[in-house]
Structure 1
Amino acid sequence: MKKILYILLGLILLVVIGIGALVTFVNPNQFKPLLTEQVKKMTGRDLVINGDINWRFFPTLGLSVGETEFRNPKGFAEPNLVQFKQADLSVSVLPLLSQHLDIGEMRLDGAHVFVQTLANGHTNLDGLMAKKAEAETTTTENTITNHDQKALWKVSVAGIKLVNASADIRNDQTKMVAQLNHVNFTLDSFQPQTWTKATFNVQGNVNALTFSAQGSTDINLAADYKNVNLKALSATMSMTDGNIDIKNAALGLDQFTLGQWSNVTFSVDGKVPNLNFDTHGAVKVKLSTDHNVITVQGLKVTNDLVGKTLPRPTINLVVDADATYDISQKLTLVSQLTLNADGTMVSGSGSYLAADIPDIRFALSSDAINIDDWLPAKTVATNSNNNASAAAAMNTAVAKENNDTSAQEPDLSALKNINLAGMIAIKQLTVDNADVANVKVVTSVKQGVATINRFEANLYGGKVTGSAFVNVNSALPSYRLKNTISNVNVLPLLTAVANNKLLAGKANITTDLSGHGLSEANIRHNIAGSIKVNIADGAVYGINIPDLLRNAKAKLKDQTNTASDTTKKTDFSALTTTLKLNNGFAATDNFQLASPLVVITGKGRTSLVNEGIDLMVNSEIVASGKGLDKIKGIAVPIHVSGTWQQPKYNLNIKDLFKNNAELESKAKKEINRGLEKLFGDKAKDDNIKNAADKLLKGLFN
């Protein structure tokens, strides 16, 4: 027993003597030149150790390194890439004999990292990895290492602490400046195949955005240090920049292992200008064992939105999706996507290829969408006596706003930076109060040209087909629209869209229009092309042309037309015209309306800018009966004026008489007979006759 004690005392004495000799004869500061030389070799940068390197004896033998700086190349805003005030490292000696590197707690105080990207794209990280790889290659070539022996070494660290660290990250290209302050990180221990706890907290800002974050997780490092398992991850964050205010963002993860499903939960509660949101959701995520494919399954995100800018006071938006992301190909495949906004549902699939110009493919469908439900409500002006002045002021302000915005071009520059192709199918679509069924749209965007390759839909008993494109590669975007409307009931369509009940019939319309500029003002001024209209078996409401002619005939005879038809409409069998659009006007020279009683032809134009109408229509009675016998065959000119919403119809008596000598003669006789009844024998007086002649000339000339 005494011998054993003597042996132990001898070993302890030997260790003490060894440590004493180490401290006495080995000055760790003599390693400074060696360290700086090796760092220079590996990175091409300077390592400056301003503080001393000292021995540590408690709780284990180790080293303490004072203030140290790792330099940046010239041309960057700060001299150092990395710097720290104090670094402590301890190593157990005896385990080294059994090829076990047992490191005590590693502690780094006051570390600061500065990363900068210059305006030319160069960063202070450029070249580090290349130098490191070159140095490692040289070391490998010049060192004979037994791989099997190297594999026997085990490394363990009692703990890692990063205390009061900071970082500055600048990007001069994007004008982004990020600062991380009060960065603290603790790892209870660092030993492969052993679960250990990690915690962190950080504060900072990105430009005007300030944030703070904290969290914890359990970590298990693989034996080869290449993979890591996680469990019980929990993190929270808050941020604000004056406009964005995230009160609480939370992330939870039950576990993470390569090739296995992880259950993730998340929530964000905050607000942006005029919008409050509460978003929360859950998803299953899996990363493949080759670290290349991320699979997302059962993603469900619920968004509760409240704000004045929304078309409704509150909106509940739910997103469900399944997707995969191939990291090497930068390709996202969405196999299933469902959007539900307050009961309006859209489903589909798609893909996204990340590139300089992203490429998107999609197919979307919906049973029913009411666009009107998602547009701002139209304001109805009040014109009561009590607030007439306020209503007038409001109308003036609205008109001014409309004038200011009507010339503003929409910003479509994003079309230059995306490639897109897809299809949309909607069973029932409501837009501007019109009901459209079985909508199918095939569209694409490439090199700044957005194209509707095919559009088709059922519309009020008929069908609409067409195509269109918009090219945004010029100062003003150019466009072309071609479509065909077949057998569409006009009256319910006009009633729904414009509350206009002036026209009925079955419409067949062919449109070919083009122009440049997509603002309302530019469309009205610059649109050009043609619209061919053929409406069969219809009626024009608001005017009864045969009755108008009968009344005119009765007035000439100083009679009352007792057989007047009070129905204000003119039936027709066909209405045809070709509208030619150019220079802000739509004009026609071949307007024709044929009906059993009357044939109407006309020509004229309407302004697309102020919506004024200037149309001359000739009406000719072609049927007998109903008091029309005596005016059959007479072409009666009618002038249509006013506006689109309030057209006015006037019988042009001057042109009526000019074009019909017989009718003019009859009218003059009726006027002379009326003068004789009124003045008797004095009707032949020269003064009265002269006055009557002037009246007749004004009437017929």
Structure 2
Amino acid sequence: MMKETQPNEAETPQPTKRDRARHHLKHWGKWTHRLIYVGVLIPIVLVLGFAGAIHFMDFNQYKPQLEAEFKKQTGYDLSVEGNVDVSVWPFSLSAHNATVASPKGFERPLVEMEQVEVTLSLWSLFVQQRLQASGVELIGPRINLIETDAGQRNFKGLVTNRWLKRWQVASAQSSIAMPGGWLTAQAHAASESQRWDLDAFVVRNGVLRWDTPTRTWQWDRIAVMAYDLKPEQPSEVQLSARMDIQGVDFQTQFDARGQMTFTPSMQRLALSDWQADLRLTQKETDEIPPLQATFKLADAALEWGDLKKFHVKQAKLLSVLGRLEWTASTQWSEQARTSVSGEVSMERANLRQWARHIGLNWPIFESDQALTDVSVALSGQWQADQWSLQEIEATIDQARLKGWVRRDPNGQIRFDGQGEAINLDAYRVQVLPKASHLDAAASAKPSTKTPSEASGAITPGSKRPSRRWHLPLGLPIQGLRTWEASGQLVLNHLRYQGVQYDQFSAQIDSQSGQWHLNPLSLRWYDGTLEASVSLDVTGETPAYQTSGQISGLSLQPFMTDAWQQSRLSGDLFMQFDLASKGVNTQLLKQNAQGRLEGEIQSGVYHGLDLNRLLSGQAAQPGQTEFERLSFVAPVKQGRLQWQQLDARSERFSAKGEGHWDWARDRVDMQWSIRYDQPPAALKALQGVTVPVTVSGPAQDLIWQAPTMNQLLQSPGNQKKLLEAVRQLLN
């Protein structure tokens, strides 16, 4: 019988530390997998349950609650005519065909929206138990801003401090109760940073229309894309739109991009590093090519509080037609006065081409280069009734201007200006003369003209209407009656109506509608003018008065420039005292009153040889010299009457009488010429008085002298002629 063997305890395997570690890891691994499954399944179950609840819910039943809350917060009526839908992924709420009504008295609603979609945060909903928007998209919004003739605005309630404060401190709580008790989400009075923490804000195909009593502004095709909208942090923004202004012949398409920063309360909005590409296009014609321009903005900010502030830093408009840059700041409030300050500079701007591209009716200037190269730089400030423009420097084509102007607290305007190389004739515009009263009367009668003649067409043999050039400047009568000014103006190398002025200087003062230029000084054509000029605009018609003297004016170049003819040369010395009233040159000539007194020294009358005329020949080209021509002439009702008119030369002396009608521009006068030392061919006329008549327009005078037979009909001349014959026979 075999002996049963007993197991040896030393041979039984003992678990090692590694085995025990493996056992524990296996045990924890099972529980970890179980926890992971539970952690994954619970959110899935919650999401599925939430999705199921959302699927079976009708959110349209919450329209009245949403509309009432909007009315409470803004004071405007909201109407959601379409469906209110909710999607689970992404979790978003959308409303269709929403309308914000304008206050009573306005036809169009304030806002119309095709669709509003708000993306919500699931994390905030499940963890923080509140609704948090993470994105907003507006599709087809149309905003109608209306301002009536009476000053009423349908958007006034949106820009008042009352609404802003109500928005900032809103503590109303709204709840969305799910059927079956799945979820109750309460929107707490969150901080402003929570309200405006958006990942994206998008606007598609928007329209903004602003109706004012004078015109309508409209921005359409508006597209906005803004990302990471968080208070006090820069957000990237892209904006594009098309701008159309009623009464303006061009449209502007712009595409802009830059950064935007706002405060939690939205009381401060800042823009930085913006750039916009602009395209100006004519509305009704393709003949003018579009104009490309670039707008750049370094910095801008708007503060909307009790004291409102706005500033712009380094705003630039760049194009092939010039460069414009400005920096400005302003502040205003209901209690404080508005104040504005800033700097503006414009370089090499072609205003003529700018006007062409934006559809302005540009006049026909006498010079093709007028306003094609304009540069301006100035700084200024304005507050209530006080304002100033400092450091004004301008280059307009070839002209250079500089100076300053300000309005003091007492209402007086002070200024100092200097100019160089100013040609005002280059800026005269071409105008057609108005039809006369006779033409108007004739047009009222039955016409026998052909259709082309009646329409004003130019037919063979007919004359085209004459054109004239006119400087488009007028007297601002209402301003001259109220402005009080004091300052000095100095212009070097000035040209006006063909006349060259080496220097014009005047001290200008005004008070109660009385304007005085005293002293007024001119240096021109080797001579000077020292005068005083007064303008009275207190009456119905402006009244002028001037007195002074002219010394050493060289007549030939002066008359050549002023009237394009040089019949008279010599040096003019004259004293004058004139007064008139009127609103145009013709009335000023017609109403002129006063007195002229002076003389012309070392003169020559060109275009007429007096010796040939007295010898019986027709007026022949040539010249007649005289040593001195003195005159005294009162002026009454625009008619200059020569009271004294004496001429003296080496060969003859003469006395004249007659008048010059300034309004009609006609001269009628008669000279009595006595030959003291006639030339040999006219020896018989020595001591004889010869009458010579002068008549016609001042620029085209006709001289006439009697024949020898007519001279002999005078008893005095017959006696002198017989004495001359007796001396010859002896």
Q: Same-fold call, TM > 0.5?
A: yes
Measured after TM superposition, the shift of residue 180 of structure 1 is 3.5
Computing the radius of gyration from Cα coordinates, the structure with the larger value is: 2
Measured after TM superposition, the shift of residue 100 of structure 1 is 10
Q: In structure 2, what is the Cα distance between the partners aligned to 1:122 and 1:106?
A: 31
* Superposition map of 1:232-381 within 5 A: 232-242=274-284, 245=288, 247-253=290-296, 255-256=298-299, 262=314, 264-267=316-319, 279-281=321-323, 283=325, 285=327, 295-296=342-343, 299-303=346-350, 309-313=364-368, 317-324=372-379, 326=381, 331=387, 333-341=389-397, 344-350=398-404, 363-371=416-424
* Superposition map of 1:136-535 within 5 A: 136=166, 150=191, 153=194, 155-171=196-212, 173-174=213-214, 176-203=215-242, 205-207=244-246, 209=249, 211-222=251-262, 224=264, 225=266, 226-242=268-284, 245=288, 247-253=290-296, 255-256=298-299, 262=314, 264-267=316-319, 279-281=321-323, 283=325, 285=327, 295-296=342-343, 299-303=346-350, 309-313=364-368, 317-324=372-379, 326=381, 331=387, 333-341=389-397, 344-350=398-404, 363-371=416-424, 397=463, 400-401=465-466, 412=474, 415-416=477-478, 423-442=488-507, 454-468=519-533, 479-498=544-563, 499-518=565-584, 520=586, 522-535=587-600
- In the alignment, is the contact (CA less than 8 A) between 1:322 and 1:334 conserved in 2? no
- In the alignment, is the contact (CA less than 8 A) between 1:101 and 1:155 conserved in 2? no
One-letter code aligned to 1:513: A
Counterpart position of 2:96:
66
- In the alignment, is the contact (CA less than 8 A) between 2:113 and 2:141 conserved in 1? yes
Pair 412,260 (structure 1): closer, same or farther in 2 beyond 3 Å: closer
Q: In structure 1, what is the Cα distance between the partners aligned to 2:35 and 2:351?
A: 76
One-letter code aligned to 2:391: S
Measured after TM superposition, the shift of residue 643 of structure 1 is 3.5
Q: In structure 2, what is the Cα distance between the partners aligned to 1:370 and 1:325?
A: 27
- In the alignment, is the contact (CA less than 8 A) between 2:607 and 2:623 conserved in 1? yes
Pair 55,339 (structure 1): closer, same or farther in 2 beyond 3 Å: same
* Aligned partner of residue 463 in structure 1, secondary structure: strand
- In the alignment, is the contact (CA less than 8 A) between 1:619 and 1:635 conserved in 2? yes
Counterpart position of 2:644:
590
| Aligned CA-pair RMSD | 5.1
Measured after TM superposition, the shift of residue 439 of structure 1 is 1.7
Q: In structure 1, what is the Cα distance between the partners aligned to 2:84 and 2:418?
A: 69
**CA displacement, residues 254-286 of structure 1 (integer Å, 9 cap, x when unaligned):** 64367996473512xxxxxxxxxx513264747
Measured after TM superposition, the shift of residue 82 of structure 1 is 0.8
Q: Scaled by the length of structure 2, what TM-score is found?
A: 0.68
* Aligned partner of residue 231 in structure 2, secondary structure: coil
- In the alignment, is the contact (CA less than 8 A) between 2:237 and 2:259 conserved in 1? yes
Name structure 2 gaps, 5 residues minimum. Answer: 1-31, 174-188, 302-310, 333-337, 357-362, 431-457
Q: Scaled by the length of structure 1, what TM-score is found?
A: 0.71
What count of residue pairs does the alignment treat as equivalent?
Answer: 614
Name structure 1 gaps, 5 residues minimum. Answer: 268-277, 378-391, 556-565, 673-701
One-letter code aligned to 1:614: D
Measured after TM superposition, the shift of residue 26 of structure 1 is 8.1
One-letter code aligned to 1:484: Q
- In the alignment, is the contact (CA less than 8 A) between 1:300 and 1:319 conserved in 2? yes
Pair 150,366 (structure 1): closer, same or farther in 2 beyond 3 Å: same
- In the alignment, is the contact (CA less than 8 A) between 2:541 and 2:581 conserved in 1? no
* Aligned partner of residue 166 in structure 2, secondary structure: helix
- In the alignment, is the contact (CA less than 8 A) between 1:573 and 1:596 conserved in 2? no
- The answer to whether structure 1 residue 107 and structure 2 residue 163 are counterparts is no
Pair 502,536 (structure 1): closer, same or farther in 2 beyond 3 Å: closer
Q: In structure 1, what is the Cα distance between the partners aligned to 2:475 and 2:572?
A: 40
One-letter code aligned to 2:79: V
* Superposition map of 1:595-674 within 5 A: 598-620=652-674, 636-644=690-698, 645-651=700-706, 663-665=717-719
Measured after TM superposition, the shift of residue 4 of structure 1 is 5.0
- In the alignment, is the contact (CA less than 8 A) between 1:415 and 1:446 conserved in 2? no
Counterpart position of 1:56:
87
- In the alignment, is the contact (CA less than 8 A) between 1:536 and 1:573 conserved in 2? yes
- In the alignment, is the contact (CA less than 8 A) between 1:65 and 1:88 conserved in 2? yes
* Aligned partner of residue 118 in structure 1, secondary structure: coil
Q: In structure 2, what is the Cα distance between the partners aligned to 1:187 and 1:327?
A: 36
Pair 122,393 (structure 1): closer, same or farther in 2 beyond 3 Å: same
* Aligned partner of residue 659 in structure 2, secondary structure: strand
Pair 448,664 (structure 1): closer, same or farther in 2 beyond 3 Å: same
* Aligned partner of residue 149 in structure 2, secondary structure: coil
Pair 248,444 (structure 1): closer, same or farther in 2 beyond 3 Å: farther
* Aligned partner of residue 397 in structure 1, secondary structure: coil
Pair 420,76 (structure 1): closer, same or farther in 2 beyond 3 Å: farther
- Identical-residue share of aligned pairs (%): 15
Pair 223,18 (structure 1): closer, same or farther in 2 beyond 3 Å: farther
Q: In structure 2, what is the Cα distance between the partners aligned to 1:103 and 1:56?
A: 14
Pair 284,526 (structure 1): closer, same or farther in 2 beyond 3 Å: closer
* Aligned partner of residue 67 in structure 1, secondary structure: strand
* Superposition map of 1:514-593 within 5 A: 514-518=580-584, 520=586, 522-540=587-605, 568-582=623-637, 585-593=639-647
